[in-house]
Amino acid sequence: MTINASGWRPERPEAGADTAPATFTGNRALMLDEPLIFEVGSTETTGVDLADVPTGTSRLGGLERAREIGLPGLSEPETMRHYTRLSRQNYAIDLGLFPLGSCTMKHNPRLNEKMARLPGFADVHPLQPVDTVQGAFGVIHELAEWLITLTGMHSVAMSPKAGAHGELCGILAIKAALDAKGEGARKVILVPESAHGTNPATAAFAGYAVENIPASDAGRIDTDALLARLGPDVAAVMITNPNTCGLFERDMKTISDAVHAVGGFVYCDGANFNAIVGKVRPGDFGIDAMHINLHKTFSTPHGGGGPGSGPVVLSEALSPFAPLPFVARQADGKFALIEEESAGDDHPHSFGRMVAFHGQMGMFTRALTYILSHGADGLRQVAEDAVLNANYILRSLEGTLHAPFAASGPCMHEALFSDDGLADGFSTLDVAKGLIDEGFHPMTVYFPLVVHGAMLVEPTETESKAGIDQFIGALRSVAERAKAGDATLKTAPHFAPRSRLDETQAARKPVLVWREPVLAAAAE
């Protein structure tokens, strides 16, 4: 073990030091080489004894399976070993720092999981009678109140299932508001280059024409260019703040006022809310709609724990057009689920439903647990620590990696680097692959597109200084090798279960169906 100015890290074998003989199995001690499940078992056998299925009259209307399903039969030990071995090849937040920029891969406290598994939450069903799920409605309503308070907005739609789904919710509310004013002819949405890629995709999906607004040399919106483009055909602007360069958009209030002056609306991508939660209220700088990724700011799992959740907070101008259903507290203190479009004066202008039911109970429970365990002061510290950690990485790597916007002042939640300064023939991809050998999942690469060879690092607030120091040391080591032209980086990773793959071929000619080797050879 060595200790250096960047923190601690294990000794890295020098190039060529990995000269151990090949093993018969392909295993390297406890790094087990696992074949495909089709290569483990046989399609001619099964791991259990099942009686023959009796022949009967089909009710599938001609959609019956025409051939054997082709799944391999494995014994129980083979099945357990296969998936356990595969799980050991996954990188996870429980193994180490997950530096994906613009993704906020933070630790999910186990307290959240314990609460989500309480029988009253884990077993709740969306079709239960309303009087049997008052507690669940109470959780939804309390979480909604927190989100409204934290953002300074007027209302919130809880049903969207993820960030991009939330974007669509906000844009549909904007569309409904414009139609109600007789301004449905507005067909343009402006999207800065520094926004998330889902923003233009959402606008196009909703039927709008998308026009890009350039970024300034400082990595922020070119405010003059945006203001010059505003006009009667602009329905909205979609702005990510903090943006994908890791910077806060300082002119947000100026932009919002100008957009409102021409009759448009302002959508804010709230994926990076973790950087400003408890510090800034988006409603105060004129936002009309913003989605909140519960799995980013409020620590609910990223997909692996179930479907995501992307509530959308709305301004007073857009609240009447919010989707159904929503939970409302009645005069007697009980909760009701407002589900009908013809809900009288409650919600007469709703654009309708986005989903069959009313949200992701597990995600709501986890997020509210996280909020209550932190409190208002704790949530403020979340943002402060996330920003501190990102700036610590940014400044610690000065002189090692080029930071294109370092002169723009402190970054927010993520540090952005480029491949400028690497040796000829070396790229961001080589640095990313080298990090795998160091035991880290690579940072986000080649995004945002406004920076050539971008490397976007987000440490979040849940990492310790020791853990961040280890990551900084590893990244510095790999970057110095890339600057020195270390040829071993071109074939990294060397210590992963699989070496460098041809990603271009994999994308252009994916092999999606497994075939018996003999059949595959015959087909060729």
Where would I find the beta strands (DSSP E) of 297-432? 312-314, 326-329, 335-338, 415-417
How many CA atoms does the CB half-sphere of 278 hold within 13 Å? 19
Is residue 405 a contact partner of residue 411, using CB atoms and an 8 Å limit? Answer: yes
Q: What is the pLDDT of residue 339?
A: 83
What proportion of the chain, given as a percentage, has pLDDT over 90? 67
Give 269's strand partners. 240, 291
Closest of 427, 412, 416 to residue 457, by C-alpha: 416
Q: pLDDT per residue over 128-157, tens digit each?
A: 999 999 999 999 999 999 999 999 999 999
Render 405-426 in DSSP notation, one character per residue: TGGG---SS-EEEBSTTSPTT-
Sign, CA torsion 473/446/192/351: negative
Name which of 424, 495, 505 is nearest 33 in CA terms. Answer: 495
Phi, psi of 379 (to 5 degrees): -65, -35
Indicate if the alpha-carbon torsion angle 380, 382, 386, 392 is positive or negative: positive
- Judge whether 150 and 281 are in contact, CB under 8 Å: yes
What confidence category does residue 70 fall into, taking pLDDT thresholds of 50, 70 and 90? confident
| Spatial CA neighbour of 337 closest among 147, 519, 124 | 124
Is 70 exceeded by the pLDDT of residue 43? yes
In which band, very low, low, confident or very high, does the pLDDT at 521 lie, cut at 50, 70 and 90?
low
Question: Rounded to an integer, what distance in angstroms lies between the CA atom of residue 236 and that of residue 238?
Answer: 7
Element (H, E) at 386: helix 361-396
Average pLDDT estimate for 176-202? 94
The first and second tokens of residue 253, run together, are: 């209030």
Neighbour tally for 23: CB within 10 Å: 10
Cα–Cα nearest to 174, from 194, 196, 157: 157
Q: Please name the amino acid found at residue 321.
A: F
DSSP state of 130: G
| End-to-end Cα distance, the chain | 51
Q: What are phi and psi of 82, to 5 degrees?
A: -60, -50
The tokens for 72 are 């391999």
| Confidence tier at 522 by pLDDT (50, 70, 90) | low
CA of residue 446 relative to chain centroid, distance: 16
Whether 192 and 213 have beta carbons less than 8 Å apart is answered as yes
- Give yes or no for residue 16 having a pLDDT over 80: no
Length of the chain as a residue count: 524
pLDDT, tens digit, 9 for 90 and up, residues 467-489:
999 999 999 999 999 999 999 99
Domains delineated in the chain: 111-369 (3.40.640.10)
Residue 59, both tokens: 């009710």
19-28, Cβ contacts within 8 angstroms, sequence gap of 24 or more: none
> Could you report the per-residue pLDDT of 220-266, keeping only the tens digit for each?
999 999 999 999 999 999 999 999 999 999 999 999 999 999 999 99
**441 three-class SS:** coil
| pLDDT of amino acid 523 | 56
In the predicted model, what is the mean pLDDT of residues 334-358? Answer: 78
Average pLDDT, the chain: 89
What is the model's pLDDT at position 1?
Answer: 37
Q: Which helix or strand (DSSP H or E) is residue 235 part of? A: strand 234-240
Answer for the pair 234, 262: CB distance below 8 angstroms, yes or no. yes
Model confidence at 341, pLDDT cuts 50, 70, 90, reads low
Strands 209-213, 2-4: pairing is unpaired
In whole angstroms, what is the distance from residue 247 CA to residue 451 CA?
14
DSSP for 324-336 reads BPEEEE-TTS-EE
pTM value is 0.88
Residue 236 CB: number of other CB atoms within 10 A?
26
- Distance between CA 140 and CA 128 in Å, rounded? 16
Q: Which of 454, 449, 381 is nearest to 415 (CA)?
A: 454
Least confident residue range of 15-19, 276-280, 415-419: 15-19
- Long-range contacts of 39-42, Cβ-Cβ distance < 8 Å, separation of 24 or more: 40/72, 40/74, 40/78, 40/82, 41/72, 41/73, 41/74, 41/78, 42/72, 42/73
Rounded Cα distance, 81 and 339, in Å: 47
In sequence order, what are the residues at sequence separation of 6 or more whose Cβ sits closer than 8 angstroms to the Cβ of residue 263?
Answer: 181, 183, 186, 232
pLDDT for 325 beyond 80: yes
Other beta carbons within 10 Å of 118:
12
Q: Minimal CA–CA distance to 484: which of 423, 424, 438? A: 423
pLDDT above 90 (res 459) = yes
Token duo for residue 88? 């050991």
- C-alpha 244, offset from chain centre: 13
Amino acid at 284: D
